[in-house]
C-alpha cells in the first residue's frame, strides 16, 4: 500500500521529549490501524545527549521509523528540508520534538487528506495547554480555500511547524533556488508550503479549525535567537507571495519589530525563560530603535524604554500597584 503520510521530526538534544512523542505516535498509529499508511522520519541534528542511543533502540524495533543522524548541526531549516526530501509518502507532516499530537490528530489529518486532496493542510494549535483560543474559526470541519491571497493570509497566521502538512513534490532547480534565501530564518517550512502551493495548477488549502496538537509544559522555555521574531516578515518575500500580495512583507515588517521587542520584554520580565540571556541583549541592540514604529505602538514604546533604561527590576516592583490601580 502506498504511504499516505510521512511524519517528519527534526530533533536536537531532546531525547526525553522525543521518546514521549514517538510513544504517543506509536499508540495512535496502532490504535487507528494505520501502520501501512504512515512512516516516521527522525533527523537528529548532531545531538550530544542520549538521542542516538534512544533512536538505535526505537528504530531497530520498528521498521516504520527511519532515523538519520547528521554528522554536524545543519541548522533547523536545513534539517527540515532534509526530512522533506527523504519522505516517501504523498504528504509530509512536520512535527516538533517537544510538541504533543492530540488524540484525534492522525485520524482527522488523514481524513482531510483523503477527502480533499489539498496541497497544504493546516490546523489550530493549543498553547498553553487547555487554551480555548483557536487560530482558525471556520464552521466547517474542513474548510477548503482556493484563492491565493486568502491562502497566503491564512498561512501567515500559523507559525507553528507542527501544524503544517504539505504535499510531497519533487523540487526542481528553480524551486530550490527560490527557497535558498529562506534557509536560515527559522520558518523554512512556511516558505516550503508557499512553494508547494505555487507549483499546483489548482492551489488548495485545507484548514482544520480544531486544535490537533499542543505544546508541553515547557512551552515558556526557549533557546532560539529573538532575531527570528524581528525578521519573520522576510518569509513573505517568497515569489508566490510577491505575485499575489506584493506589499505583505513590508506591512508585516512593523509588526515583526513590535513582536520581537515584546518577546524580549517578556523574557526580561521572566514570563519567558531562556538559557541564553545574552541573545536578548544582542537581539535588542541589533533591532535598533525604530522611532516611527514605536510612536504608532505605545505599549511597545514603553517596553522598549524600560529595556533601554534598565528599569525592568523597578517595573517588576511597581507593576502590582499599577494593576491594582487599573482594577
Q: What share of the chain is helix, strand, coil (3-state, %, to 5)?
A: 50, 15, 35
Residue 62 has pLDDT above 70, yes or no: no
User: How many Å from the N-terminal Cα to the C-terminal Cα in the chain?
Assistant: 62
> Can you give the pLDDT at residue 32?
80
The alpha carbon dihedral of 253, 73, 218, 158 has a sign of positive
Say yes or no: 61 and 166 in one domain: yes
The alpha carbon dihedral of 293, 295, 298, 300 has a sign of positive
* Number of domains making up the chain: 2
Residue 246 has pLDDT above 90, yes or no: yes
Interhelix angle for 312-326 vs 248-269, to 10°?
Answer: 100
Give the CA distances from residue 243 to residues 33, 40, 148, 196, 310, in Å, rounded to whole numbers and listed in that order.
Answer: 42, 35, 9, 15, 44
> What average pLDDT does the chain have?
92
Q: Among residues 188, 219, 250, which one ends one of the domains? A: 219
Contact 95, 8 (CB under 8 A): yes
Q: Alpha helix locations (H) across the chain?
A: 15-31, 51-61, 76-86, 105-116, 148-155, 173-179, 188-198, 227-230, 239-244, 248-269, 278-287, 291-295, 298-308, 312-326
- List the CATH number of the domain containing 171: 3.90.550.10
Question: pLDDT tens digits for 93-138?
Answer: 999 999 999 998 999 999 999 999 999 999 999 998 888 889 999 9
- Closest residue by Cα to residue 234 from 156, 117, 128, 311: 156
Q: Among residues 219, 237, 258, which one ends one of the domains? A: 219
Residue 202 buriedness (CB in 10 A; 0-12 / 13-18 / 19+): exposed
Residue 69 has pLDDT above 80, yes or no: yes
Residue 1 has pLDDT above 80, yes or no: no
Say yes or no: 146 and 244 in one domain: no
Average pLDDT over every residue of 211-229:
88
What is the DSSP secondary structure assignment for residue 166, as one 8-state letter?
E
Report phi then psi at 44, rounded to 5. -90, 115
Question: pLDDT tens digits for 154-191?
Answer: 999 988 999 999 999 999 999 999 999 999 889 999 99
- Give 206's strand partners: 121, 144
The C-alpha atoms of residue 18 and residue 54 are separated, in whole angstroms, by: 9
Residue 327 has pLDDT above 60, yes or no: no
- 268 backbone φψ class: left, alpha, beta (φ>0; ψ -120 to 50): alpha
Say yes or no: 136 and 273 in one domain: no
Q: Among residues 153, 187, 219, which one ends one of the domains? A: 219
Provide the residue range defining the domain that includes 138.
5-219
In degrees to the nearest 10, what's the CA dihedral of 88, 93, 95, 100? -120
The C-alpha atoms of residue 13 and residue 1 are separated, in whole angstroms, by: 34
Say yes or no: 75 and 189 in one domain: yes
Question: pLDDT tens digits for 259-297?
Answer: 999 999 999 998 888 877 888 999 999 999 999 999 999
Residue 61 has pLDDT above 70, yes or no: no
Say yes or no: 85 and 112 in one domain: yes
Question: pLDDT tens digits for 291-318?
Answer: 999 999 999 999 999 999 999 988 888 8
Contact 124, 208 (CB under 8 A): yes
Say yes or no: 153 and 89 in one domain: yes
Q: pTM here?
A: 0.93
Spatial CB neighbours of 179, under 8 Å, sequence gap ≥ 6: 81, 171, 188, 191, 192, 195
Amino acid at each position: 500500500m502506498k504511504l499516505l503520510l510521512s511524519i517528519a521530526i527534526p530533533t536536537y538534544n531532546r531525547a526525553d521529549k522525543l521518546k514521549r512523542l514517538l510513544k504517543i505516535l506509536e499508540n495512535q498509529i496502532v490504535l487507528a490501524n494505520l501502520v501501512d499508511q504512515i512512516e516516521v522520519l527522525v533527523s537528529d541534528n548532531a545531538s550530544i545527549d542520549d538521542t542516538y542511543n534512544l533512536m538505535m533502540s526505537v528504530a531497530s524495533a520498528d521498521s516504520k521509523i527511519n532515523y538519520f543522524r547528521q554528522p554536524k548541526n545543519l541548522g533547523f531549516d536545513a534539517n527540515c528540508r532534509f526530512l522533506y526530501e527523504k519522505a516517501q509518502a504523498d504528504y509530509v507532516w512536520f512535527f516538533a520534538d517537544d510538541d504533543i499530537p492530540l488524540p484525534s490528530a492522525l485520524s482527522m489529518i488523514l481524513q482531510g487528506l483523503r477527502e480533499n486532496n489539498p496541497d497544504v493542510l493546516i490546523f489550530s494549535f493549543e498553547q498553553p495547554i487547555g487554551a480555548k483560543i483557536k487560530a482558525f474559526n471556520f464552521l466547517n470541519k474542513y474548510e477548503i480555500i482556493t484563492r491565493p491571497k486568502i491562502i497566503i493570509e491564512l498561512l501567515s497566521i500559523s507559525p507553528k511547524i507542527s501544524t503544517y502538512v504539505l504535499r510531497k513534490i519533487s523540487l526542481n532547480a528553480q524551486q530550490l533556488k527560490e527557497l535558498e534565501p529562506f534557509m536560515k530564518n527559522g520558518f523554512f517550512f512556511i516558505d516550503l508550503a508557499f512553494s508547494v502551493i505555487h507549483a499546483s495548477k489548482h492551489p488548495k488549502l485545507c484548514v482544520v479549525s480544531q486544535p490537533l496538537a499542543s505544546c508541553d509544559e515547557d512551552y515558556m522555555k526557549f533557546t532560539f535567537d529573538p532575531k527570528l521574531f524581528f525578521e519573520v516578515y522576510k518569509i513573505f518575500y517568497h515569489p508566490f507571495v510577491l505575485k499575489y500580495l506584493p506589499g505583505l512583507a513590508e506591512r508585516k515588517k512593523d509588526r515583526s519589530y513590535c513582536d520581537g521587542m515584546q518577546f524580549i520584554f517578556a523574557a526580561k520580565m521572566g514570563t519567558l525563560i531562556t538559557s541564553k540571556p545574552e541573545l536578548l541583549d544582542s537581539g535588542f541592540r541589533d533591532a535598533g530603535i525604530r522611532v516611527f514604529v514605536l510612536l504608532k505602538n505605545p505599549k511597545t514604546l514603553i517596553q522598549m524604554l524600560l529595556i533601554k533604561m534598565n528599569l525592568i527590576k523597578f517595573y517588576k516592583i511597581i507593576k502590582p500597584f499599577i494593576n491594582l490601580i487599573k482594577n
